[in-house]
Amino acid sequence: MIERTLVLLKPDAVKRGLMGRVISRFEDAGLKVVGSKMVLINEEFGKKHYYDIAARRGEKVLQVLLKFMTTGPVMALCLEGVNAVENVRKLVGGTEPKSALPGTIRGDFSHISFAYADAQGKAIENLIHASGNPEEAKQEIALWFTAEELHSYKTAHETHVF
């Protein structure tokens, strides 16, 4: 099934200059970038995106996360491909970078643990947000992109295969 998903390259990925390397990983896996933009979000927008974090993990976690997400620009991507949500999450790796498998983006580019971040009173800097399921992806894409900002096109591979 061809589907779309949202990926956010968080401020730590942007500040470390990893955007191109991370986007290449998605493209190398056959995913297509159909929307992209760099955004400096404010707390209000952050609350819209992370609307359920306080209920699931507590208000303190939400505040720490919002503080981190507003420290610098975020690169928002809409990716398209076969089972895009599932495949992006496999490529990204586990939420805790310390536990993420080698070969995943988090496993290769980060090593922060939940315990370290908690001890420092800061958010886990794990480079990326990736939609958790297809329904969440639809909601998140609609929040981050207008219809005019999303594009349909055939890649060179698609034109040769189909």
Q: Which entry of 49, 129, 157, 160 is annotated as an active-site residue?
A: 129
| Alpha-carbon radius of gyration of the chain | 16
- Which amino acid is residue 35, in one-letter code? G
Q: How far is CA 35 from CA 8, 134, 157, in A?
A: 12, 17, 19
The owner of tokens 């992806």 is: 137
Among this protein's residues, is 129 annotated catalytic?
Answer: yes
For residues 149 and 33, the answer to whether their CB atoms sit within 8 Å is: no
* CA–CA separation, 20 and 124 (whole Å): 22
Residues annotated as catalytic are 129
